[in-house]
Amino acid sequence: MVNFNPFARFSVIAAVLLSAMSVTGCNPDPPQPQRTSLLPRDYDPTADVPERYHFLYSGGIGNDEIDNAWRALPFTKIELERTECYGACPSYVVSLSADGTARYKGRKYAARTGAFDGEVEIWDYGQICWMIEKFKILGGHREYAANWTDSATAIIRVTLRETNETIEISDYGGQGPVELWSLFNAIDAVSNLIEWKATSK
């Protein structure tokens, strides 16, 4: 059995829409299954990409390979915290781990309040790891801050697999580089894809 890249979900949606069109008469010819083929391209998407991330461009990964793919990722935990502000800024903590587990703690003004558990796809976690490396997030300042008050702070915590050290970077008032902003929002986007289940923890 093979775990496929989540981008394949779009082809499933397209197939459902085409089927619906044929039933309603919009398309008199029902869609026919087609053999999947590799199209030629004039570039290598894995060029300059570390080997541990090559699976992100493979379109699928075998069940016998997925554990090794998780273990090859350089960060064992990635956490995003957003604090309150003088207003209605949502406050919460999202934790993603390199075993596929995810945790969410919603606080004031968050979309959901309380503790939740879920699962993160290796494709999404791997892309976030690659983003951290590619953008050299951990090589910048540990703190960015605006020269005013009453804004929210976004905090990223990354635990290194090699040393088990956790590096924390905080950004008060959105003063960090665009790469850091991109990381914050990528984690939020992945969090929105997770099916969260309430827990008593």
Q: Kindly report, residue by residue over 51-70, the tens digit of the pLDDT.
A: 999 999 988 888 999 999 99
Mean pLDDT of 68-92: 97
Residue 197's pLDDT is what?
97
CATH class in words for 74-199: alpha beta
The pairing of beta strand 101-106 with beta strand 75-82 = unpaired
CB proximity list for 34: less than 8 A, separation 6 or greater: none
Question: What band does 20 get if pLDDT is binned at 50, 70 and 90?
Answer: very low
Q: Which two tokens stand for residue 112?
A: 């959901």
The residue extents of the domains of the chain are: 74-199
- Whether the per-residue pLDDT at 13 is higher than 70: the answer is no
Q: How far apart are CA 160 and CA 167, in angstroms?
A: 8
The tens digit of pLDDT for each residue in 100-129 reads: 999 999 999 999 999 999 999 999 999 999
Q: Determine which of 43-47, 94-98, 162-166, 192-196 has the lowest per-residue pLDDT on average.
A: 43-47
pLDDT of residue 31: 62
Percent of the chain with pLDDT over 90: 72
pLDDT over 80 at 176, yes or no: yes
18, pLDDT greater than 50: no
Please say if the pLDDT value at position 72 is more than 90.
yes
Give CB contacts under 8 A, 24+ apart, made by 48-56. 49/130, 50/130, 50/133, 53/126, 53/129, 53/130, 55/122, 55/126, 56/5, 56/123, 56/126, 56/127, 56/130
Please report, for residues 5, 34, 66, 140, 195, the alpha-carbon distance to residue 55 in angstroms, rounded to integers and kept in the order given.
9, 24, 9, 28, 24
d(CA 140, CA 170): 11
Supply the pLDDT for residue 11: 46
Phi, psi at residue 163, to the nearest 5°? -120, -10
